[in-house]
Amino acid sequence: MNPTVTDKRLGPILAKVRQGSRLSKEDGICIYQTQDLIGLGMIANLARSVRHGKKAYYVYNQHLNYTNICKNRCRFCAYARDRKESGAYAWSMEEIEQYVMERIDEPVDELHIVGGLNETLGFDYFIDLLKTVKRIRPEATIKAFTCVEIDYLARLSGLGIEQTISLLKTAGLEMMPGGGAEVLNTRIHDLLFPKKIDHTRWIQIVKAVHNAGIKTNATMLYGHIETVEERVDHLITLRNIQDETDGFCAFIPLAFHSKNTRLSHLPPTTAMDDLKAVAAARLMLDNFDHIKAYWVMIGEPLAQVALSFGADDLDGTIIEEQITHTAGARSARGLTRDQMETMIRRAGFEPVQRDSFYNPKPVQAVE
């Protein structure tokens, strides 16, 4: 592949990518500023194909959101409720069991479990939650709780971060999703999610989790009030953490959806924003193996295009996504394996069904 760029500022970035050299903060800013989307996409695709050729990963997963009651009430969140508000819920163990059992005949490999900070639930609830899911689905990986929940659980248990992680691990926690970092920046924290842990605490927790042998993903919520420089700083912070811990599996850019939030005046992200977010991640995060195009947030057609802009993973079948759909996402609630594989093949890539840690699953006939 021999990318040609029409924005001459992309030339030095292409040269660095060819040499395998690290991009600077200025390069990151240029990536977001360029109008040469095709040139940028070709450079990101070059970096992607060096690592993954034509492979595009997906997982058979199921989301479980145990409660939407949350004391943080971030301004960008349409999902959270106060305890007495209509639509507020917190699942009992019986309801969790019933929810997981409803899909027991499907070959689910990963349970993605997150929820709000609900002060009516004790620490034992979380241990029971992990044990219940593990008992019903012993073969699936439990990917649960963001650093925000870990901070909260450590306060609930009163045992400190390390011991809390150790208890959760013993109960079945195997991996953690991204989420909760939003944009690692004080200005944005104070304006949009002042009650949530700040970037210093998020970084401290993610490092403790990695040091305890638990891999996590990382995300960035973009398309609200953040500047280009703040986006690039966020990516560089993650890159520095990865240099230190090597604990991140994948990065997922999360496109902000404003419907039903206190930021509902903000317009949706454009295809240009979404593709640049993927390309910037692939190029700046040179020490991350996997960049996900989260089809739930950017829609299935653009997620297909994103595979040629640096993404190598489409997340998964999902089954009943709540958080983005409450904020107005119009993508499907879930996809079958057949739909995932067709989506990948029709974008010109080879589907690889994986587990949570990117080990390929033996090839199976698609139902």
Which residues bind to ligand V47, rule: CB under 6 A? Answer: 76-78, 146, 177-180, 182, 217, 219, 221, 252, 254, 256-257, 261, 294, 315, 323-324, 327
Rule CB under 6 A: which of 95-124 touch ligand SF4? Answer: 116-117
Q: Could you tell which of ligand V47, ligand SF4, none binds residue 177, using a CB distance below 5 to 8 A set by kind? A: ligand V47
Q: Is 222 in the site for ligand SF4 (CB under 6 A)?
A: no
Distance of CA 42 to the CA centre of its chain: 24
User: Nearest Cα to 224, choosing from 270, 277, 269, 275?
Assistant: 269
145 counts as binding ligand SF4 under rule CB under 6 A: no
d(CA 110, CA 309): 26
Cβ closest to ligand SF4, residue 77 vs residue 249: 77
Q: Which does 116 bind (CB under 5 to 8 A by kind): ligand SF4, ligand V47, none?
A: ligand SF4
Which DSSP symbol is given to 188?
Answer: H
Q: How many Cβ atoms from other residues are within 10 Å of residue 6's Cβ? A: 10
The Cα 96–Cα 135 span in angstroms is 12
Binding partner at 253 among ligand V47, ligand SF4, none, C-beta below 5 to 8 Å by kind: none
Cβ 143 to ligand V47 shortest distance, Å: 7
CB 61 within 8 Å of CB 112: yes
Token code pair at residue 223: 């398309």
Q: Which is nearer to ligand SF4, 89 or 358 (CB)?
A: 89
Q: According to the binding rule CB under 6 A, does residue 148 interact with ligand SF4?
A: yes
CA atoms within 13 A on the CB side of 110: 25
Binder among 14, 23, 59, 80 for ligand SF4 (CB under 6 A) = 80
Q: Is 73 in the site for ligand SF4 (CB under 6 A)?
A: yes
Helices (H), the chain: 11-19, 25-33, 37-52, 93-101, 123-136, 147-157, 161-171, 186-192, 199-211, 228-245, 271-284, 295-298, 300-306, 323-326, 337-346
57: Cβ–Cβ under 8 A, 6 or more apart, which residues? 290, 312, 313, 314, 351, 352, 353, 354, 358
When asked if residue 74 is in the footprint of ligand SF4 (CB under 6 A), the reply is: yes
Q: How many residues bind ligand SF4 (CB under 6 A)?
A: 12
User: Shortest Cβ distance from residue 74 to ligand SF4 (Å)?
Assistant: 3
Regarding 292 and contact with ligand SF4 (CB under 6 A), the answer is no
Q: Which residue has the tokens 């069904």?
A: 353
Interface with ligand SF4 in residues 154-193 (CB under 6 A): 193
Residues of this chain that interact with ligand SF4 (CB under 6 A) are: 70, 72-74, 77, 79-80, 116-117, 148, 193, 196
